[in-house]
Amino acid sequence: QVQLVESGGGLVQAGGSLRLSCAISGRTLSSYDMSWFRQAPGKERELVARITWSGDTTYYAESVKGRFTISRDNAKNTGHLQMNSLKPEDTAIYYCYIRVPTVFRDYDYWGQGTQVTVSS
């Protein structure tokens, strides 16, 4: 059974920082790309950042580029999202995500989400 558990969310003032973590069990993280998504009230879930299985390549949404950093520790089966210079518009529930491909289909796994609230 694959489980993703996020932690590190909370309430922070604009300009502050938070570090989200995603602990993965049931699969070896080093085999898969990992992503962070977020969903604000009344909005669709959006991709925030992605990192390849090797950690060599990262992708960031334009809205967070230069402020957020995605990383992974394959030895600990954990991923992180360092968020600096936070803005009120970053307020959302943040989810980590991996996709596990198999011969017949791909399986999508999501964490339960962690709330990030940025006050102005």
Decide: helix, strand or coil at residue 65. Answer: coil
Q: Count the alpha carbons within 13 Å of 19 in the hemisphere toward its beta carbon.
A: 5
Instruction: Give me the pLDDT at residue 10, please.
Output: 97
Q: pLDDT, tens digit, for every residue of 7-31?
A: 999 999 999 999 999 999 887 777 8
Q: For residue 65, what are its two tokens?
A: 């580029």
Query: What's the average model confidence in pLDDT over 73-92?
Result: 96
